[in-house]
Structure 1
Amino acid sequence: MTTVSRTGIDIVSRRVMPPGSHLVLTVLLRVTTHHPEEDVDLTGQLHRLVAEAGIAEGSVHLYCGHTTCGLLVNEPEAGLEDDTSRALERLLPHSDHHPYAHGRHRGPEERSHHGERDNGHSHLRTMLATHPELHIPITNGALHLGRWQAVVLAEHDGPRTRELLLRVHDDLARPA
């Protein structure tokens, strides 16, 4: 079952760009997951960063540089998350229950070096159910999300610590 987390999001670095730049803010976020399958709602943190950027019209670009977790926009409702978890388990069972070719060629030394467990299912679930990056509009100084939409990191191979790169762009910036 997927576990919903609303904590474990830290700002690793923050760089505010000079006035007049279309790129206003760059932030490196660290997200710590605690379960093998976990959804982390990033929406509150993104709202705070957009407010800090202080722009009226623009966009947020969020990038996840990992292959066993990804990003999505959906309703963070427990029933939907349970349904998604069960559907992914039927479609792509956990590696402990089904042999995947991924990682089989690695010897014990390489497996030890990478610290990897059998996670073929995690790679495939990420490919099918998430995106590596999202581009979200900012309108009237706020994220332009639908009533039930949230920005979520979907972990498929936890527990792990993940890093996300966020950039806030100002569509109305004028060169200084």
Structure 2
Amino acid sequence: MTTVSDAGIDVISRQVMPPGSRLMLTARLKVTTNGPESTVDLTGQLHRLVSEADVTEGTVHVYCGHTTCGLLVNELDAGLETDTGQALERLLPHSGRHPYRHDKDRTPEERALHGERDNGHAHLRAVIATHPELHVPVTKGALYLGQWQAIMLAEHDGPRTRELLVRVNDDLSHPA
């Protein structure tokens, strides 16, 4: 598994909402992954979006609309990435070494639509090791993360270009 800093992340759209709205900012991120299994650190880009939204207390919602990658919060550490990759390989071996029904039972039409790449392992790894969406608190104008925590996209079927939806909400703009 390889780590990519936020250099592979582009903001493809951004809209700052008018004052008084609970939704303060919405953005779409294009994330380019560089290997079959890789992790992209989203934390820096999300910090920048929170700062731009000028939210003191609120939440960041990140949504990943893909089925062979997903989001996670954990320590961004090369050793941990290696350990995770090895554990996932033991639990869910690559499709080339295991006959997943997802891969083997495809019709010619499904293969034409989805491509020839066998990726049953990537779907299952995304199911057990990641989430399609995350909600992260914002407090005192910053993401509320533990000392070692980072927000990451984990790719299990790359290299690919992925799109994420990010929304920054303000908990103080509307009284309870």
TM-score where L is the length of structure 2: 0.96
CA offset at residue 116 of structure 1?
Answer: 4.3
Q: Which residue of 1 aligns with 2:4?
A: 5
CA offset at residue 106 of structure 1?
Answer: 2.2
Task: Verify the 8 A CA contact 2:60 2:166 in the aligned structure 1.
Answer: yes
**In 1, distance between residues paired with 2:164 and 2:78?**
24
Opposite residue 103 of structure 2, the aligned amino acid is: G
CA offset at residue 34 of structure 1?
Answer: 1.4
Q: Which residue of 1 aligns with 2:57?
A: 57
Opposite residue 150 of structure 2, the aligned amino acid is: A
- Partner SS for 2:11: strand
**In 2, distance between residues paired with 1:153 and 1:25?**
20
- Pairing of 1:64-143 with structure 2 (within 5 A): 64-143=64-143
Aligned residues: 174
Q: Which residue of 1 aligns with 2:168?
A: 168
- Pairing of 1:20-59 with structure 2 (within 5 A): 20-59=20-59
Select between 82-91 and 11-20 the one with higher mean Cα deviation: 11-20
CA offsets 1:121-162 (integer angstroms, 9 cap, x no match):
000000000000000000000000000000000000001110
Cα-Cα RMSD: 1.2
* 1:48/1:157 CA distance change after superposition, 3 Å: same
**In 2, distance between residues paired with 1:13 and 1:101?**
38
Which consecutive unaligned segments of at least 5 residues does structure 1 have?
none
Percent of aligned pairs with the same amino acid:
70
Which consecutive unaligned segments of at least 5 residues does structure 2 have?
none
